[in-house]
Amino acid sequence: MEKRNFVRDGLLGLCVGDALGVPVEFHPRFELDAQPVTGMRSFGTWRQPAGTWSDDSSLALCLAESLCSGYDPVDIGKRFLSWKDHAAWTATGSVFDIGATTKSALERLESDPDHPAQAGLRREEDNRNGSLMRILPLAFHLQGKDIAERRALVAEVSSITHGHMRSVIACFIYVDFAIELMKGAGPKAAINETRDRVMATFKDEAEAASFSWILTRDLSKLNREEIKSTTNVVDSLEACLWCLLGSHGYREAVLKAVNLGDDTDTTGSLTGGLAGLAWGWRSIPSDWLSMLARRADIEALADKLAAKLGMM
How confident is the model over 175-225, as pLDDT tens digits? 999 999 999 999 999 999 999 999 999 999 999 999 999 999 999 999 999
CB-based contacts of 76, cutoff 8 Å, min separation 6: 62, 63, 66, 116, 157, 160
Q: How far is CA 206 from the centre of its chain?
A: 24
At 37, the amino acid letter reads V
Which pLDDT band holds residue 3 (cuts at 50, 70, 90)?
Answer: confident
Indicate the length of the chain as a whole number. 312
Q: What is the pLDDT of residue 1?
A: 62
CA atoms within 13 A on the CB side of 38: 4
The enclosing H or E element of 157 equals: helix 147-158
Q: Domains, the chain, ranges and CATH?
A: 6-40+50-308 (1.10.4080.10)
> What is the structure's pLDDT at 312?
83
For 228-276, the pLDDT digits (tens) are: 999 999 999 999 999 999 999 999 999 999 999 999 999 999 999 999 9
Is the CB of residue 268 less than 8 Å from the CB of residue 21? yes
The pLDDT of residue 181 is 98
Is the pTM higher than 0.95? The answer reads yes
